[in-house]
């Protein structure tokens, strides 16, 4: 039987949910959308158009929708600053939660949400869409195969021309750390996943160039170390002259003992180490191509299915809210590092925040 869901938040990304992520899951019987909510009544037109919802199934207030419709879970696609109020309502109406990233717009909020969900005995998953995209999953498969030996370090690049106000969605031009909360939250999560271990230390320098029409820092250079010794470098920028690596087309390079794996613009190739040579040279595009893995669902479409399987008693999804606190810890530890110009120990930073939040919640 299809699980019943209520979609909350149909802004620019909610529209993608209506048009792309939900229909394949409705079609194959994974779920049924019984209601949709957005404060803005015009936004609800998308739910009618792509999900065939009637006027009666569309609401401008989440509480009324939760009260009037029997559902198993809600899908939280409102802006991060409002995630917690939707979580509180979901808990009140005993709904599991599938939430957009980041869990919240503060680490304290994210820890509080995870704790509230645990105390309520509910399940909450987070859609770290890009970690589950086809290209990143293919690269992860190569690294986990062991074929290329020990992973030494990772490099990634996400550089865009979004310097004009509103070009990256208005709210991102208004918040304090848009690159971190709305961009790097994915990329640092992918780096930790590729590394195969929790992040141990992080150091960030972040800034806003004078031509970037952002209130907060929109560019950053970050270094990370992981508990298994792997290291990583991240370049993220939203105010460049040109977009070299846009969403879903990021650059990732994994330097392994027996090969250099390069993923750029969704093309994966490997440059195997040849012990017979020295000072081996190559250009991008000259490696051995690796075909991307094939399956029906990727990213959020796949994550919806993983969540429903978990509700059904299956394996806990990788991005359950407790484990996914790591992704929020990365960004706030990095912000702390930029503020203090110090390397921050990420797990200690998370634990300190957890202790503070739990003592306030008693
Ligand atoms: N995974 C990804 O790749 C990805 C991409 C884009 C956005 N997102 C995430 O999706 C979420 C939404 O982002 P967006 O770009 O669509 O933002 P947006 O501002 O375009 O849309 C947010 C919508 O939520 C509605 N809303 C806000 N508070 C509400 C409330 N309490 N009740 C009902 N409706 C409410 C607003 O009216 C608006 O229509 C964010 O968490 C963002 O980080 C994820």
Residue 60 near ligand 1, beta carbon < 6 Å = no
Which CATH number is 54's domain given? 3.40.50.720
User: Are 50 and 166 within one domain?
Assistant: no
Residues 66 and 105 in one domain: yes
Q: Which of 289, 323, 347 is the last residue of a domain?
A: 289
- Per the domain annotation, does 97 fall within a domain? yes
Same domain, 110 and 226: no
Residues 148, 281, single domain; the answer is yes
Using most ligand atoms within 8 A of CB, pick from 19, 64, 79 the residue to mutate for ligand 1. 79
Please name the residue whose Cα sits nearest to atom 18 of ligand 1: 11
Is 37 within 8 Å of 65 (Cβ atoms)? Answer: yes
Predicted pLDDT at 239? 97
Residues 83 and 214 in one domain: no
Pair (165, 248) in one structural domain: yes
Please indicate, yes or no, whether residues 218 and 156 belong to a single structural domain of this protein.
yes
On whether both 181 and 76 belong to a single domain, the answer is no
Total number of domains in the chain: 2
**Which ligand 1 atom lies nearest to the CA of residue 128?**
1
Quote the pLDDT of residue 1.
80
Residue the block writes with tokens 């939280």? 76
Q: Which domain holds residue 66?
A: 3-130+299-361
Give the number of other Cβ atoms within 10 Å of residue 149's Cβ: 11
Looking at the fold, whether 257 and 239 belong to one and the same domain comes out as yes
Q: What is the pLDDT of residue 267?
A: 98
pLDDT recorded at residue 323 = 98
Task: Give the atom of ligand 1 at the shortest distance from the alpha carbon of 43.
Answer: 39
| 324 and 282 within one domain | no
Last residue of a domain, one of 289, 322, 343: 289
Instruction: State if residue 62 touches ligand 1 by the CB under 6 angstroms criterion.
Output: yes
Question: 336 near 198, Cβ under 8 Å?
Answer: no
- Listed as ranges, residues in the chain with pLDDT below 70 are none
Identify the CATH number of the domain in which residue 273 sits: 3.30.360.10
Is 319 among the domain residues? yes
Distances, alpha carbon 276 to alpha carbons 21, 147, 209, 350, in Å:
48, 19, 47, 46
What's the whole-model pTM score? 0.96
Our mutation pick for probing the ligand 1 site, out of 36, 77, 324, counting the most ligand atoms within 8 A of Cβ, is 77
Same domain membership, residue 255 and residue 196: yes
Element (H, E) at 62: helix 62-68
Instruction: Give yes or no: residues 138 and 115 share one domain.
Output: no
User: pLDDT digits over 209-248, tens only?
Assistant: 999 999 999 999 999 999 999 999 999 999 999 999 999 9
In a domain, 294, yes or no: no
Where does a domain end: 265, 289, 313? 289
DSSP 3-state helix, strand, coil percentages of the chain (rounded to 5)?
40, 25, 35
């Amino acid at each position: 039987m299809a699980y019943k869901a209520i979609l909350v938040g149909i802004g620019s990304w909610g529209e993608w949910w209506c048009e792309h992520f939900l229909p394949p899951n409705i079609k194959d019987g994974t779920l049924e959308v019984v209601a949709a909510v957005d404060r803005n009544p015009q936004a609800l037109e998308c739910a009618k158009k792509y999900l065939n919802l009637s006027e009666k199934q569309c609401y401008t207030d989440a509480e009324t929708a939760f009260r009037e419709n029997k559902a198993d879970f809600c899908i939280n696609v409102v802006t991060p600053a409002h995630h917690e109020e939707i979580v509180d309502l979901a808990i009140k109406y005993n709904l599991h939660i599938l939430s957009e990233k980041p869990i919240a717009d503060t680490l304290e909020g994210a820890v509080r949400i995870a704790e509230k969900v645990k105390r309520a005995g509910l399940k909450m998953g987070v859609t770290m869409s890009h970690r589950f995209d086809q290209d990143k999953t293919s690269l992860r498969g190569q690294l986990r195969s062991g074929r290329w030996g020990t992973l030494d370090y990772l490099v990634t690049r996400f550089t865009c021309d979004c310097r004009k106000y509103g070009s990256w969605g208005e709210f991102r031009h208004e918040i304090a750390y848009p690159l971190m909360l709305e961009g790097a939250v994915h990329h640092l999560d992918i780096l930790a996943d590729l590394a195969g271990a929790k992040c141990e230390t992080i150091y960030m320098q972040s800034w806003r160039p004078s031509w970037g029409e952002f209130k907060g820092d929109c560019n950053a250079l970050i270094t990370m170390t992981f508990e298994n010794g792997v290291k990583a470098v991240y370049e993220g920028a939203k105010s460049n002259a040109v977009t070299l690596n846009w969403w879903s087309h990021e650059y990732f390079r994994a330097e392994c003992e027996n090969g250099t794996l390069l993923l750029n613009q969704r093309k994966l190739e490997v440059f195997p180490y040849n012990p017979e040579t020295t000072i081996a040279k190559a250009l991008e595009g000259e490696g051995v191509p690796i075909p991307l893995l094939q399956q029906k669902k990727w990213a959020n479409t796949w994550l919806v299915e993983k969540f429903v399987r978990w509700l059904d008693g299956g394996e806990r999804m990788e991005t359950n809210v407790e484990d996914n606190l790591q992704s929020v810890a990365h960004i706030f530890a990095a912000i702390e590092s930029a503020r203090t110009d110090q390397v921050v120990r990420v797990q200690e930073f998370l634990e300190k925040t957890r202790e503070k939040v739990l003592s306030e919640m008693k």
